[in-house]
Amino acid sequence: MSLTIAIQGIKGSNHHQVALDYFGTDITLSECDSFDQMVRQILDGSVDKGVMAIENSIAGSIIPNYALVHHNKLHIIGEHYLNIHHHLMALEGQSLEDIKEVHSHPMALLQCKKFFDEYPHIKLVETSDTADSAKHIQEQKLMGVAAIAPKKAAELYQLEIIEDDIQTIKHNSTRFIIINASNKELPKSEINKASLRFVLDHKRGSLATVLNVLSDCSINLTKIQSLPVIDVPWKYAFFVDVTFDKYEDYQKAHSLLEIMAEEFLVLGEYKNARS
């Protein structure tokens, strides 16, 4: 039975590529205008799972998405890392000299800014989505306009790639999480990573004590992110990712943190995609 997967953006986007990489080609895609729309579809059961970007190796954490996962009681059931490649594409038969405008998402434009320093005649135009920019060019048959988008978009919308990999920093990776309305889809023997949220007493050494507990339990901290607790001024929650070799070590740390923290929540237990 084909799964229905919600993504932010349209076919040809990086979210689409991750859905294909993670679930395979036998899926039905639900294209969402925003992450909020994706979350609503997961909660109302109209899709099976969602794919959500959560952090980038250059730009850092996508803070609002941490809050979306927590506030909507969603669960992280997997992850996928995608190397980001920005390609310049347009209708066939054109060269860089023919291009007067380049349309794309603001982040893609920013990550390719150095390339365009050599082409001052090109105007950079911000749009809501990389793949949608490519689709718009194809639908409107826009000559003299190019898009920065993934290679998948060029294939889907019959565009020709003028320049490959125009991003300034060549090693650019985004981490995506697979989200669901329920937790844990794997047996304990395959789980070696977890995402947690906790709130601590505002006193000296409280965070250091937690970090020492994780270390003593042979838990490796791979990510820590603080976010304000909205209804309590100047109080912060910590979102952390941890990896471990033995699920029993994680269970021990889990039990201790539940006692130590004012609030403690498991956002997901899954397989480390980088192990």
pLDDT (tens digit per residue) in 67-82: 999 999 999 999 999 9
Query: Is the model's pLDDT at 174 over the cut of 90?
Result: yes
Confidence at residue 59, expressed as pLDDT on a 0 to 100 scale? 81
HEC string of 183-229 equals CCCCCHHHCCEEEEEEECCCCCCHHHHHHHHHHHCCCEEEEEEEEEC
Q: Is residue 275 part of a domain?
A: no
H/E run at residue 60: strand 60-61
Q: How confident is the model at residue 232 (pLDDT cuts 50, 70, 90)?
A: confident
Q: How far apart are CA 227 and CA 239, in angstroms?
A: 8
Q: How far apart are CA 85 and CA 168, in angstroms?
A: 10
> In Å, how far are 77, 169, 188, 241, 274 from 244, measured between CA atoms?
16, 31, 12, 10, 12
Q: How confident is the model at residue 147 (pLDDT cuts 50, 70, 90)?
A: very high
| 141 and 248 together in one domain | no
Q: How far apart are CA 180 and CA 232, in angstroms?
A: 28
Query: Is the model's pLDDT at 1 over the cut of 80?
Result: no
Q: How do beta strands 160-163 and 193-199 pair?
A: unpaired
**Within 13 A of 164's CA, how many CA atoms are on the CB side?**
2
| 213 and 250 together in one domain | yes
**What CATH number is attached to the domain comprising 13?**
3.40.190.10
Confidence at residue 251, expressed as pLDDT on a 0 to 100 scale? 97
Q: How far apart are CA 252 and CA 64, in angstroms?
A: 30
What's the whole-number mean pLDDT along residues 263-272? 96
Query: Is the model's pLDDT at 182 over the cut of 90?
Result: no
Confidence at residue 205, expressed as pLDDT on a 0 to 100 scale? 83
CA-closest candidate to residue 17, choices 84, 66, 70, 93: 84
**What CATH number is attached to the domain comprising 204?**
3.30.70.260
| 100 and 211 together in one domain | no
Confidence at residue 233, expressed as pLDDT on a 0 to 100 scale? 84
Query: Is the model's pLDDT at 29 over the cut of 90?
Result: yes
Q: How far apart are CA 146 and CA 124, in angstroms?
A: 10
H/E run at residue 76: strand 75-83
| 97 and 78 together in one domain | no
Confidence at residue 158, expressed as pLDDT on a 0 to 100 scale? 97
Q: Which domain holds residue 77?
A: 3-83+172-180
Confidence at residue 45, expressed as pLDDT on a 0 to 100 scale? 94
Q: How far apart are CA 265 and CA 239, in angstroms?
A: 10
Domain count, the chain: 3
